[in-house]
Chain A
Amino acid sequence: MNTYLEILSSSPMWIYISALALISAVAILISRYAYLRKKIKQEVAACAENHPSMQAGCSFSLPSKTLSAHFRLIKKLSRRYGVNLPVLMHLDDYWIQQLSARPRSALMQKLLQYSPDKALFPCFQAALGSSKRFEVLKDWIDKSGEFMVMGTIADSCAGRIFDGQKALPLIEPWKDELYEMTGDQRWTSRWFALRILLFDTGERSQKAIWAAFDDPSLQIRGMIAHSFQKTDATEGRLYEQLQDLLLNDPVYEVRSTARQRIEADLIDRYAVPSSLSHTQKLHLTELLNPEIQQDREYAFSLLDGKDDELMLEAARVLNRSGSLRRLFLQAFHEDHPSLKRSRHLLANAARVHCSDFLSALEESSNPGTLQIAADLLRSYGDRTHITTLLQRIRSFGDEQKQREPLRSIYLSAMETACLRGDDSSLALLRDELSSRKSDVQLHGHILPMLPAAHAHVYINTLFSFLYDSSYPNKQTLRSTLARLEPELTLPTLFDLIKSNRPEVSASTQEQALRLLCEIGIPYTLQHVLEHLPLMEIEQASRYAELLAQHFGESFQKRTIELLKTKDARLRSRLISALPQKYHPALKAQLLEAVQDAAPEVRSACAWTLVSTGDEEERRRCLPLIHDPVESVRISSARAFAIHAGAEYFDELKKVLESKNEMVPVQNSVIEGLIQSPYEESVDLLVRQIQRGGDLQAAALQALREKHSHKMISRLLEHIQTAESETRNRLLSAVRSMGDSAESVLETYLFEATHPLRSIAVEALESIGAVDAQIRHLTNRDPSVRREAAAFLFHAGTLSAYRGLVQAARDPDEEVRAYVVRALDALDSDRGRTILEELKKDPQRKIRTYTNWALERHQARRL
Chain B
Amino acid sequence: MIPTSLPLEQLLTHIKPSGTLEHWAQAVCNITSLLSESSLTTFYRLPKTQINRGKKVSYLYLLAQTGHTTAPERVPSNAEFLQAAVGCEGAVLQNSPGGPFPQLLMNPDMQSGIAIVLSKKAPYQGLLIANYTAAYHYTGRTIELFEQIRTLVKHSPQASGGKK
**Given known contacts A808-B88, A809-B88, A849-B84, is B140 in contact with A855 (CB within 8 Å)?**
no
Q: Is B87 positioned at the interface, with any CB of A under 8 Å from its CB?
A: yes
Q: How far is the CA of A839 from the CA of B89 in the complex (A)?
A: 20
Is there contact, CB below 8 Å, between A858 and B95? yes
Cross-chain contact of B93 among A808, A839, A859 (Cβ < 8 A): A859
Q: Is B40 positioned at the interface, with any CB of A under 8 Å from its CB?
A: no
Q: How far is the CA of A858 from the CA of B89 in the complex (A)?
A: 18
| A856 neighbours in B (Cβ, 8 Å) | 90-91, 93, 143
Main SS of the interface on chain A? helix
Q: Is A758 positioned at the interface, with any CB of B under 8 Å from its CB?
A: no
Q: How far is the CA of A848 from the CA of B89 in the complex (A)?
A: 13
Shortest Cβ gap from B72 to chain A (Å): 21
Q: Is B139 positioned at the interface, with any CB of A under 8 Å from its CB?
A: yes
Cross-chain contact of B83 among A808, A809, A848 (Cβ < 8 A): A848
Q: How far is the CA of A561 from the CA of B101 in the complex (A)?
A: 93
Cross-chain contact of B87 among A848, A854, A858 (Cβ < 8 A): A848
**Given known contacts A851-B101, A855-B100, A862-B139, is B89 in contact with A809 (CB within 8 Å)?**
yes
| A270 neighbours in B (Cβ, 8 Å) | none
Is there contact, CB below 8 Å, between B88 and A855? no
Is there contact, CB below 8 Å, between B95 and A855? yes
Q: How far is the CA of A859 from the CA of B147 in the complex (A)?
A: 14
Q: Is B99 positioned at the interface, with any CB of A under 8 Å from its CB?
A: yes
Q: Is A845 positioned at the interface, with any CB of B under 8 Å from its CB?
A: yes
Q: Is A852 positioned at the interface, with any CB of B under 8 Å from its CB?
A: yes
Q: Is B124 positioned at the interface, with any CB of A under 8 Å from its CB?
A: no
| CB 8 Å contact bits of B69-95 with A (1 = contact, 0 = none) | 000000000001001100111111111
Q: Is B133 positioned at the interface, with any CB of A under 8 Å from its CB?
A: no
Q: Is A860 positioned at the interface, with any CB of B under 8 Å from its CB?
A: yes
Is there contact, CB below 8 Å, between A851 and B88? no
**Given known contacts A809-B88, A809-B89, A859-B93, is B100 in contact with A852 (CB within 8 Å)?**
yes
**Given known contacts A809-B90, A855-B93, is B84 in contact with A848 (CB within 8 Å)?**
yes
Shortest Cβ gap from A237 to chain B (Å): 59
| B139 neighbours in A (Cβ, 8 Å) | 859-860, 862
| A851 neighbours in B (Cβ, 8 Å) | 84, 99-101
Residue of A at shortest CB range from B54?
Answer: A844
**Given known contacts A860-B143, A862-B140, is B92 in contact with A855 (CB within 8 Å)?**
yes
Q: How far is the CA of A848 from the CA of B87 in the complex (A)?
A: 9
| A854 neighbours in B (Cβ, 8 Å) | 100
Q: Is B142 positioned at the interface, with any CB of A under 8 Å from its CB?
A: yes
A-B contact pairs, 20 of them (CB 8 A): A809-B88, A809-B89, A809-B90, A839-B100, A848-B80, A848-B87, A849-B84, A849-B87, A851-B99, A851-B100, A855-B92, A855-B101, A858-B95, A859-B95, A859-B136, A859-B139, A861-B140, A862-B136, A862-B138, A862-B140
Query: Which 6 A-B pairs give the minimum distances between C-beta atoms?
Result: A851-B100, A860-B140, A855-B93, A862-B139, A852-B84, A848-B84
- Beyond the given A852-B90, A859-B140, could you list 19 further A-B residue pairs with CB under 8 A, ordered by the A residue number? A809-B89, A848-B83, A848-B100, A849-B84, A851-B84, A852-B93, A855-B92, A855-B93, A855-B94, A855-B99, A856-B90, A856-B91, A858-B95, A859-B139, A859-B143, A860-B140, A861-B140, A862-B136, A862-B140
